[in-house]
Amino acid sequence: MILSILIASHLITYPQSRPFPFAKMYARKGHHFIVCAHRGDHTEAPENSLDAYEWAAKEGADYGEADLRLTKDGVIVLMHDDTVDRTTDGHGRVSDMTLEEIKSLHFKHPLRPDEKVPTFEELLRDIRGKLSIYMDIKAVHPKDVLPLLKKYHMQKDVIAYLYGPAHRQEWIREAPQIPIISDNAMQSAEKIEANWKPTPFAITDGGYRDYTAEFVNKFHQLGVAVVPDIQGRDEAPAKWQPMIDIGVDGLQTDHPADLIAYLKKLGIR
């Protein structure tokens, strides 16, 4: 009821091509607003688990954000933290553990106590054709990622989030075909351009509270898609709508199913 009242009060019908000019470049076919499921849909399954990405795909998300780290023996696994302590029944740093050791662990999740930490290859194998991947590059290099993308024909179905100019430069040099996502200082439109120019990126995210219509317009002038982070337990139309109104191209969310339902009611999805 509350959702219906909020939508009715806006009385907005959004044209399919505006005001989200860059969304179609990165969204899945037929979508005009990017929805990225933060660590998969972890309202339904453990974060960074195969089930979380399966849920996101079924719900119609464009991307599943996945955190990539290397084990001691050089295998890419999905884990946000540098240790396994918070999300599994184990202890220790990912980089100090072998794949066999990590595969012996289980996620801390009341409904899925048997689910294990997946490898990046398992994710690509299972999700190919159903969901694109927003790779949060925590601790891997292009040489680690590119062979797997080629093996599963996913080169055009990924984007890469990077940390700072040096990190971006490595990927621009070694993986120029992969669109880069990065934060940018947003004190002024001038600083946005000055910070972007040395190592240009295709998509910007960052906290949704930092965005204004002026900043969104500046990124669009640079040819950059705007997909802020809005994830949190208190996500709701009251937070999504102001971002939609200033013309962001998508949102990274902890509640992909709810956001997609809202976008459909607005005529965007």
- pLDDT of 172-227, one tens digit each? 999 999 999 998 878 899 999 999 999 999 999 999 999 999 999 999 999 999 99
Residue 111 pLDDT? 76
Q: Which domain holds residue 58?
A: 2-6+32-266
Residue 3 pLDDT? 42
Residue 124 pLDDT? 98
Q: What is the DSSP string of 182-239?
A: E----S-HHHHHHHHSSS--SEE--BGGG--HHHHHHHHHTT-EE--B--STT--HHH
Domain containing residue 148: CATH number: 3.20.20.190
The reply to whether 51 falls in a domain is: yes
Number of domains in the chain: 1
The reply to whether 23 falls in a domain is: no
The reply to whether 18 falls in a domain is: no
Query: At 120, which amino acid appears?
Result: F
The reply to whether 156 falls in a domain is: yes
Given a cut of 90, whether residue 18 has pLDDT beyond it is no
pTM score of the predicted model: 0.92
Residue 66 buriedness (CB in 10 A; 0-12 / 13-18 / 19+):
buried
The reply to whether 104 falls in a domain is: yes
The reply to whether 99 falls in a domain is: yes
Element housing 243 (H / E): helix 237-245
Give mean pLDDT, residues 71-81.
98
The HSE-up count of residue 259 (CA atoms within 13 Å, CB side) is: 31
| CB 240, CB 264: distance < 8 Å | no
- Measured at the CA of 212, the angle between CA 1 and CA 171, to 5 degrees, comes to 105
The reply to whether 100 falls in a domain is: yes
Residue 170 buriedness (CB in 10 A; 0-12 / 13-18 / 19+):
middle
Closest CA relative to residue 74, chosen from 127, 137, 143:
143
Give mean pLDDT, residues 129-149.
97
Element housing 69 (H / E): strand 63-70
| CB 221, CB 255: distance < 8 Å | no
240 CB contacts (<8 Å, ≥6 apart)? 230, 251, 259, 262
- pLDDT of 45-70, one tens digit each? 999 999 999 999 999 999 999 999 99
Confidence of residue 9 (pLDDT cuts 50, 70, 90): very low
Mean pLDDT, the chain, integer: 91
The reply to whether 22 falls in a domain is: no
Q: What percent of the chain has pLDDT over 90?
A: 81
SS3 250: strand
- Residue with more model confidence, 81 or 184: 81
- pLDDT of 84-122, one tens digit each? 999 999 999 999 999 999 999 999 988 777 899 999 999
